[in-house]
Amino acid sequence: MALPIMAKATAVWLVDNTTLTFIQIADFCGLHELEVQGIADGDVAQGVKGFDPIANNQLTQEEIDKAVNDRKYRLQLKFNAAAEGEEVRRGPRYTPLSKRQDRPASILWLVKFHPELTDGQVSKLVGTTKPTINAIRERTHWNIANIQPIDPVALGLCKQSELDAAVQKANAKRLKEGTALSDEERRKLVSTEQSLGLAPEPELPTAISGLEAFTLSGDTDEEEEDDNLLVDADSLFNLPDAPSADGDDD
């Protein structure tokens, strides 16, 4: 059952301005009967200003009068044609402000590791727009140099089940269309077992590359010279015995 907007404030107005029962008000506003009773007693919703459902096109006076005359009657929310289909709204999902800065990283991760996903699927998963996706895909985003790919599931932007469902749908569509993956896409989509068995990628050369052996050999020669210069401290105290006072040799 659809509920009125600002349900608790609406309940406050109905308690103050009508003789409806607590059950009728609770049923209409989606509250518990005891909560409505607490509103009437002043224990609940203190300081909440009543919200007029008649002035805001949620109820009619005739509907209220009908409920007042029949205690078993349940109030019906006024039909609003503009709200038809609102619950199945399409388009990007809402992303909290605290997580919006993480969207570019998740988009880059999806574009890099799941190239089979369409822009529409990526948009629904992380709540973004197609121009942003294209900018990251084409590496024309203003902050692309500082963006690191991060799994959107780890960032809390979508659920693992939603990501799996989108990937399966994209793969099924490609299989139906007979579209083959490119070599680059196949390399990105290798399994974990396969990736562990791949040869390590060559490292980039550095300024000191190839000088390790020379440095070690030089250190060895210097260490040998230093060892020759070292003197045993105990030998300094093991001096020969001094001759006795009477001149007798032992």
Distance CA 25, CA 7 (A): 10
Q: Which residue do the tokens 């973004």 mark?
A: 128
The pLDDT of residue 56 = 84
Q: Per residue in 59-109, pLDDT tens?
A: 889 999 999 999 889 988 887 655 555 444 455 566 666 667 888 999 999
For the entire predicted model, the pTM comes to 0.39
Integer CA distances (angstroms), 166 to 43, 120, 216, in order: 48, 10, 55
Nearest Cα to Cα of residue 69 among 104, 31, 24, 33:
24
Residue with the bigger pLDDT between 243 and 53: it is 53
Task: Tokens for 13, please give them.
Answer: 């107005």
Q: What's the mean pLDDT in 117-132?
A: 90
Q: What is the 3-state secondary structure (H, E, C) of 50-71?
A: CCCCCCCCCCCHHHHHHHHHCC
Give the model's pLDDT for residue 133.
92
d(CA 15, CA 7): 12
**Residue 170 has what pLDDT?**
87
Q: What pLDDT is stored for residue 43 in this prediction?
A: 85
Lowest mean pLDDT across 16-25, 134-143, 168-177, 192-201: 192-201
Q: What is the dihedral of CA 76, 78, 81, 84, to 10 degrees?
A: -40
Q: What pLDDT digit, counting tens, does each position of 135-178 carry? A: 999 999 999 899 999 988 888 888 888 888 888 888 888 888 77
What is each CA distance from 117 to 48, 56, 132, 158, 166, in whole angstroms?
47, 43, 15, 15, 7
Tell me the Ramachandran region of residue 139: left when phi exceeds 0, alpha when psi lies from -120 to 50, beta otherwise. left
Structure tokens at 14: 């109905």
Is a pLDDT exceeding 80 seen at residue 214?
A: no
Nearest to 56 by CA among 80, 39, 33: 80
> Could you give the CA distance from residue 104 to residue 108 in angstroms, rounded to a whole number?
6
